[in-house]
Structure 1
Amino acid sequence: MALLRSAPSHSLVIIDEVESSLHPRAQRRLMTELFAISKERKVQFILSTHSATVLEQLPTEARVYIQTQRKGARNVIYGVTPEFAMSLMDDVDHPELTLYCEDERAQTLVDALISQESPEIRNRVAVMPVGAASTVRILGELASKDKLPNRSLGILDADQEEGAGCIVLPGSQAPEKEVFGALDETMWEKVANRLDVRVADLLDAVDDARQIKSHHAWARKVAERLGPRVRVGRVWEDMASVWSKEVVDPSERTVFVEAISQRLIE
């Protein structure tokens, strides 16, 4: 650390396997130190790592996965999630089809749509959050050219346009805006029954949540208002289930899931 702190301002420092010999707590402390040096001395760091702990400390724009292809070609994928990067680096069995979506909220909607329309294929696919829409587009394009290790398909949020190797979720808005805006009082009552809470309490929580500027925080705010026994994930899962069954046009749901089924048999 003393050596790094003495590096001239605006230096470029490259560290291979930055986590080597360090346990997770030490890895987090090291990353904190590197962030401080980078900010104070304008030093740029390029790190290689196989550590989920290190990846989790990095901001999205700092994560770059370099995938080596046969004959030496490389795919450079920016903004990947730690989970996606680790899955590519791990030697595990792959499902028949991997669906790449933006985040956990979209992942839940995809699960709900498949379970509602064609539950028999659910165990044949894996739905993986990978990051921003730009990352999904890159992966979709690579999938369309058969440049990924397994059969894949990109799933973009409804506020995005289709791209090569990608399909779009039903609707026209980001997942939280789409679901919160589409459920009427009757549907909220069904969500309340699933959560085993009073519908009036749920509606109050929803009204409070929608006052928050960032829609990404809405589901968490609802869970906080309903009390500690209600998980954020459960709130969103029950909302997604009601939305996929009661709101999404059956023909639109069928088209969406059939695109996934078609990719399974290609």
Structure 2
Amino acid sequence: MIEKIMIKKFRALKNLEIGLGENLTAIAGQNGTAKSTILGMIAQPFEITGKKEKDYLTEEDLKKSLITSKSFNTKFKDIFKLSPVHDSHGESRGKEDHYHYELYFNKEDEIIYENPLQVKGNPRDVPPYLRLVAGKTRDAGHGNIPYPVIYLGLSRIYPIGESQKLENKDDNLTTEEEEFYKEKYKNILLLTDENLEKTEMVEKEKVTTLAVSTTTYDWRSISAGQDNIGKIIASILEFKRLSEKSNYKGGILLIDEIESTLYPRAQEKLIEFLNQQASKLNLQVIFTTHSLEILERMIIDKKYSNSKVNFLTKKYGPLVVEKTNSIEELRNNLLVLPTGSEKKIPKINVYFEDQEAEEMLKNIIKTKSILQYCNFLVLELGAPQISAIATKINELKNGIIVFDGDCKISKEKGTIKKNMKKHNFYLYLIGDKSPENMYLDYLDSCSSSHDIWKKTLRSYGRQNYLDNAPLKTKRNRENVKKWYKEDKKYFGTDMNRLYKTILNEDKNLVEEEERFKKDFVDKLKKCYNETYGMIFLK
């Protein structure tokens, strides 16, 4: 497995280190930052045909594993487009290290005869103007390493609709493979209503692809995005077949501009699929991308902890790899915005009965990277009134409604539950009281010697509380809210000091808070996905 590539000199690239993840590796950056060149450099030192003594897979094993690919090797001319002026003897004559890079492997293997593996280029005066040679010497058994590689270039997305010559034939998939293909195809593209019928091999002008027909249209009508997904899944199936061979050691799948022709959510579903398969098949998936959705997911989501993002930039002059975990910095670079510029983030409306409920939620969900996706709105209505209109007004129907905790035991709880039956995104705050009454009941229970008066509320003693708080017998909605509004300045931002003190003394509330957090974030993600077709990943 490749750990990193060190580029000493290759065209405009000089002294660059590209780290590779165990599962996924993203190579990102603006156009003209040599992303595709690096992809090709990784592919070139590997070759397996099954015809050489050092090949650990037989020619028959390799052939039987192919579906749409021609081989498990890459062709130099399919990746590099070279210049007779800059890539021939002309510029590089006499410069031994004009093309020189090294691959580092994270573990020794009998097929790895040299670590790091040196790769150098021999310029020529005739096409393809350059030959890359692996290994320090030309000793027997050296040269390219016998390891299966599939390279998917942009020719894979040549539109079926624009092809002048098309030919289809039956694929050689097993029933299990066809079911795998259909399941993953539908899952990535979120085709909930499509009934997939038959998969077919399609020969188009540039490449062979794996397409599928449905009950309403056949493979000739599929979009470029559907075609793209079909080709990628077919490549995974090829490695899946290889993995069943006893001598299989792993492989490399390289994809240029992985997000091409795919909408944002499908991009995220695709890398989720590839991450799972990479882990199962001992496969390194390395791709180039401009997709902010893909980069954000890989940087923030913990499931991609075995993956890496390399961001190439010319912002400082010479091309460098920017070492950052900030999606904001990458976004600003790709959008050519000044550092510190903020992109307007789409938000989900979150509705509350009153301000007290909004402030309690901010104490529960303290993470700014979650809260930034929320637009808080106070309705100043009771729970029964809100529930009565929750599914009749689009703004409420498409948002999240947070009821006070007392709704769980109120006499109207049956009515609220019935009204909210068709609303997917509502929940109750912790406890079984409204926030303001929870605070009052707790302070009532604190004696004069309680630490809260000495440590937490130094400027607000029990006497102040008794003087300002409404009597228990007169705690109507109006009096309680008046106390909250006038005295909350003594209890920290949004009553946070009092809220923390209560939770420190009540383990049941702590457990309830954890359940609420998970429930709220789950609902926010689902609501965000339904509304905007994408998911936030903070």
TM-score by length of 1: 0.48
Question: As a proportion of its length, which structure holds more helix?
Answer: 1
Kindly name which structure, 1 or 2, has the bigger radius of gyration based on alpha carbons: 2
Question: As a proportion of its length, which structure holds more strand?
Answer: 2
TM-score by length of 2: 0.26
